[in-house]
Amino acid sequence: TIEEREWFAETLERRLSEPISTETRCQIAAEMLKSQAFDQFLAIKFVSFKRYGGEGAESMMAFFHEFFKLASSSGLEKIVLAMPHRGRLNLLTGMLHFPPEKLFRKLRGLPEFPDDVKATGDVPSHFISSVDLDINNRKLHVSMLYNPSHLEAVNPVSMGKTRGVMQAIKEGGYCEDGKSKWSDKVLNLQVHGDAAYAGQG
């Protein structure tokens, strides 16, 4: 209805009017500029590479910056992340500290494996990362899963991995003393592609 749309717009505008500290603005701007510089570099040095860059989606870096910060301050320790191609390499080489030289080696047509290993590997846009981030003196482990070419196929895998981690650390329903809640320490984050809702992309 029109009332629901107006309510949604007003709520969003109120949210956007909340003040953001200068320090946070600078951090977000730095992440967005790194993403932009990365895309420009790849466009110049690897002209023919289909990179699914973050051009036009740089605000995704602001989202991840704030999400990781809020997750850490909420006491979360582990995030299992599933995301599509768009902006993936930007996030990997930026906030998730994936070695750019490993990516550049692959882009030059060299395998990501040692020379004595007989393997073909995968496309660069499917690279993964499993890294400990230091956010406000708290450790947050982010594990980005392999990205299948059929994007949504990773969703049940990410849910299964999250459940496995919860079982391993005895969180939520796997807690023996009943004191732990679901997602106290582990969270599953699934980022959909270019559409507003799953199935539209």
SS (H, E, C) the chain: CHHHHHHHHHHHHHHHCCCCCHHHHHHHHHHHHHHHHHHHHHHHHCCCCCCCCCCCCCHHHHHHHHHHHHHHHCCCCEEEEECCCCCHHHHHHCCCCCCHHHHHHHHCCCCCCCCCCCCCCCCHHHCCEEEEEEECCEEEEEEECCCCCCHHHHHHHHHHHHHHHHHHHCCHHHCCCCCCCCCCCEEEEECCCCCCCCCCC
Percentage of residues of the chain with pLDDT beyond 70? 95
Q: Sorting pLDDT into bands at 50, 70 and 90, what band is 145?
A: very high
Asked, for residue 153, whether it belongs to a domain, the answer is: yes
- Lowest-confidence region among 74-78, 88-92, 110-114: 110-114
Q: Supply the pTM of this predicted model.
A: 0.83
Asked, for residue 195, whether it belongs to a domain, the answer is: no
pLDDT number for residue 201 = 45
- Lowest-confidence region among 34-38, 97-101, 117-121, 190-194: 190-194
Total domains in the fold of the chain: 1
Asked, for residue 144, whether it belongs to a domain, the answer is: yes
pLDDT at 18 over 80: no
- Lowest-confidence region among 10-19, 114-123, 153-162: 10-19
pLDDT number for residue 122 = 84
Asked, for residue 9, whether it belongs to a domain, the answer is: yes
Asked, for residue 14, whether it belongs to a domain, the answer is: yes
Q: What is the pLDDT of residues 174-191, one digit of tens each?
A: 888 878 888 889 999 999
Asked, for residue 198, whether it belongs to a domain, the answer is: no
Q: What is the pLDDT of residues 34-81, one digit of tens each?
A: 999 999 999 999 998 888 888 888 889 999 999 999 999 999 999 999
Asked, for residue 71, whether it belongs to a domain, the answer is: yes
Q: Supply the mean pLDDT for the chain.
A: 89
The average pLDDT across 20-39 equals 94
Domain region containing 26: 2-49+57-190
Asked, for residue 201, whether it belongs to a domain, the answer is: no
Domain of 73: which CATH number? 3.40.50.970
